[in-house]
A = this chain, B = another copy of it.
Amino acid sequence: MNDSRPIRAKSGTNHEGTSAHNRRVMIDALRMNGALSRADLARATWLTKQTVSNIIEELERDGLVRSQAAVRKGRGQPSTPYGLVPEGAFAIGLQIDRHVTRAVAVDLVGSVLVRDEAGLPTGGPSEGAKVILDLVAGVRAKLAGIVQQSEKRLVGLGIAMPGPFGVAGSGDDPWMMEAWQKFPLLETLTAGTGLDVGLQNDAAAAATAERMVGAAHGLDHAVCLFVGYGIGAGLILNGELYRGTNGNAGEIGMALLFADGKSTPLEHRASLASLYQHLSIDPADPDLHAEINDRVLRGDPSVETWIDAAAADLRWSIHLIETIFDPQTVILCGSASEALVNRLIAAIGPLLPSIAERRGRTLPRLQPGMADPWSVALGAAAGPISRAFDPHFAAILKDSL
């Protein structure tokens, strides 16, 4: 009787897990509220003044927080607020798109310090990887030129690229993303950069960015509907990005819609790819974003047609998202121009009725998020920062070390 199937269990925790959690809670509180005194932190986190003092002292030694001028407010000793030190940590974010790759260096509070892009060669991933590694190296070098000791404070490299991941030949994107799926990207970049490398799809990256510095800041339940070359949803559930079993949660581009007796993936109806096709524009055009932005602003009728059609699908998608997730808000963001997102939001309204319509709402059901070609790279960088500093269950467990 060799009953040797592996035992499945969650990991336990210990003092270090406790301490790590409390550190993260402090950082999170400072990120959400701005600078706070030790006493404020103690009240907010339910920890004792003494514990907060110890942790703050430690965080200050580590260069993650810094005291500000004392504040007098009423009776009692003035409080000394502590705030996050932006240059306390950095991360590199990398977006791999069809024709281009973008990299940014981001600091602890989500400011982009360096940005750079490069065209991706048509030779496929093995050639592309060289371009990418060069790009990342360049961004790191520039960062090192701006701030001292940046390399020591680099917490990781986050990659964002179109999903879904690990699915055999969907086949309807001829433009090489499939080749990237098979390429050992994480291994190559880990080896090539020496950094901790993480991967998410571009909608998830957009959501991560919104959570760190955008419309989802401080929210526990929000869904970012991301209109890029494809379309996807980034899910913030219980204050964390939800990834699903294989990192493909939210990849709604492949959702089939039935209309006029035939089924079409959502992606073919409401995505920049569909817009490019509608306009007969070459998606490899380097002036793409400017061109689209321009056409949106001057009300190009062909663009308007697409917007109305896409808005109808998005309106229904938002209804469905509200119904399924019961989020605090839905955020519409994209890799295209702000102007396009705003036009889309205008065209989407009024929203379909749903359970999101309730008395006492404070947040709008739908709000605009970041919309520019760099937001995905920013979100990619936000990934490692969140992993390193945000409070979450996994960070408490012993097996996370």
Binding site for B on A (CB under 8 A): 1-2, 7-15, 17-18, 21-22, 25, 28-29, 32-33, 36, 40-41, 43-47, 51, 73, 164, 166-168, 218, 220-221, 233, 237-239, 242-252, 254-256, 258-259, 316, 319-320, 323-328, 352, 354-355, 357-359, 391-393, 396-399
Contact = CB atoms under 8 A, between A and B. Distances in A.
Specify how many copies of this chain sit in the oligomer. Answer: 2
Given A255-B323, A323-B254, A393-B392, A9 B21 contact: no
**Closest 3 pairs (CB-CB, A-B):** A244-B326, A9-B29, A9-B44
15 contacts: A2-B73, A7-B40, A8-B29, A8-B44, A9-B29, A12-B21, A12-B46, A12-B47, A13-B396, A18-B18, A46-B399, A164-B355, A246-B355, A255-B324, A393-B396
Contacts of A399: 46
Nearest to A40: B7
A256 B316 contact: yes
Contacts of A7: 29, 33, 36, 40, 43-44
A44 B9 CA distance: 6
Contacts of A244: 221, 325-327
A396 B398 contact: no
A8 B30 CA distance: 9
A275 B218 CA distance: 44
Given A167-B357, A248-B355, A323-B255, A242 B237 contact: yes
Contacts of A164: 326, 355
A73 B9 CA distance: 21
A47 to B, nearest CB: 4
